[in-house]
Amino acid sequence: MADSTRGHVDEEALDEVVRFTSDLIRIDTTNRGGGDCQERPAAEYAAEQLAGAGLEPALLERTKGRTNVVARIEGTDPSADALLVHGHLDVVPAQAEDWSVHPFSGEIRDGVVWGRGAVDMKNMDAMILAVVRAWARFGVRPRRDLVIAFTADEEASAEDGSGFLADEHAGLFEGCTEGISESGAFTFHDGSGRQIYPIAAGERGTGWLKLTARGRAGHGSKVNRSNAVTRLAAAIARIGAHEWPVRLTPTVRAALTELAALYKIEPDLDDPDGVDGLLGKLGPAAALVEPTVRNSANPTMLDAGYKVNVIPGEAVAYVDGRYLPGGEDEFRTTLDRLTGPDVDWEFHHREAALQSPVESATFARMRAAVEEFAPEGHVVPFCMSGGTDAKQFSRLGITGYGFSPLKLPEGYDYGALFHGVDERVPVEALHFGVHVLDRFLRTA
């Protein structure tokens, strides 16, 4: 039986989280972005586990095979706002020849679960299932209503996943004011013995851009002052070389303040040079905040021409842009200037930047849950440089946090494992996650 002072996690829950992680990895839900992903087998697997806990999961599709799962657990306090707990079922591609084990084997070797999705994010899906099923065995109910959602298509546009759910099934999320999902409460080792647990309280906005330059088509041997390729190349070079100014959001300011206190540094956060100076003193821990003190725009794709001796009349490029909460206007204005009069740009895909309060009761409870099981750790807030399904759920007024707890040993680079080769997660990290998630969800 579980120790009541340490939550409601029994040996069966610890066994199940490992098995669920492995089983879900073995279900290939590769999302290449072309619409051919089939999440349904994984969705049916998750729904079966939820049904085994006495819940009534709904399976919902916008496109055949692109399946989402939603279920609600009633809380003990009907006056409390509901909490959304969500994870995605799809994964990015993996080339088997690059891996030490087959990426869809779900192999458990030397206390580690291997495979695509081990950290992004079938581990969290498994943790949710294990906790919910443990509660069913113990007769536990949370304080707040919990809405459990497993989504499709997060690794692409989310149009078949959280976007579809937010737009077409908003009623399933009635009462939800906050949500938790991926990319937070993992162990970050700073190289000097400190263990930091960053909890995400914000995301930069997504601004994927399409740039189009037009000019005069002609023979490659002729002088051409209206060359579309030249115009595009000049704009791309300006974007790639641009130095974006420091802009501190409340979340990033709180992160820098807490990190400075941890390292006993007196920060000057009102001076851009002071911010860069502080980052230089934080060592490896600077990686937690450095990508989110500025907007960014990185050229990623070029498409021009069809024959070496023909100057094309049009050239196209794509840019991965990210902007801070409150930074979209500056982002747009800067892109207008950098592209210049000869290149047009538009959003190829756009999602809002998010910011969540770090002084909230929910953040305090996440902090307390981590500190109970990792008393040697230091919890700090941070802003994600990328994005999650929280962007789509924000359309429903849901404030999102990144909280998928893992206690990782030194040498595990959590960030590098995302979308990387040999993605894997220690069994003990999954056990830690179940304990912390149980503690938080019961008290949230």
- What is the per-residue DSSP string for 104-128? TS--EETTEEESTTTTTTHHHHHHH
Give the residue carrying structure tokens 């009069």. Answer: 341
- In this prediction, residues 68-73 reach a mean pLDDT of 98
User: Could you tell me what percent of the chain has a pLDDT over 70?
Assistant: 99
Class of domain 205-351: alpha beta
List the domain boundaries for the chain.
Answer: 4-183+388-443, 205-351
State yes or no: pLDDT of 321 exceeds 70.
Answer: yes
Interval 13-59: pLDDT, tens: 999 999 999 999 999 999 999 999 999 999 999 999 999 999 999 99
Helices (H) and strands (E) in the chain — how many of each? 12, 19
Question: What integer pLDDT is reported at residue 428 of this predicted model?
Answer: 98
Selected catalytic residue, list 16, 39, 90, 125: 90
- Kindly give the interhelix angle for 122-138 and 427-443, rounded to the nearest 10 degrees: 60
Residue 172 has pLDDT above 80, yes or no: yes
Mean pLDDT of 403-410: 97
Q: In what order do the strands lie in the sheet with 424-426?
A: 108-109, 112-114, 424-426
Q: Is 90 a catalytic residue?
A: yes
- pLDDT, tens digit, for every residue of 418-434? 999 999 999 999 999 99
Residue-wise pLDDT for 194-219, tens only, equals 999 999 999 999 999 999 999 999 99
* pLDDT one-digit tens code per residue, 252-290: 999 999 999 999 999 999 999 999 999 999 999 999 999
Say whether 205-351 and 4-183+388-443 share the same fold: no
User: How many residues make up the chain in this entry?
Assistant: 444
**pLDDT-based confidence at 3, cuts 50/70/90?**
very low
Does residue 8 register a pLDDT over 70?
A: yes
Distance, CA of 308 to CA of 313 (rounded, Å): 13
> pLDDT for 84-134, tens place per residue?
999 999 999 999 999 999 999 999 999 999 999 999 999 999 999 999 999
Predicted confidence at residue 6, as pLDDT, reads 58
Instruction: Single out the catalytic residue among 154, 182, 203, 351.
Output: 154
**Residue pair 152/89 in contact by the 8 Å Cβ criterion:** yes
pLDDT, tens digit, 9 for 90 and up, residues 129-156: 999 999 999 999 999 999 999 999 999 9
CATH code for the domain defined by 4-183+388-443 = 3.40.630.10
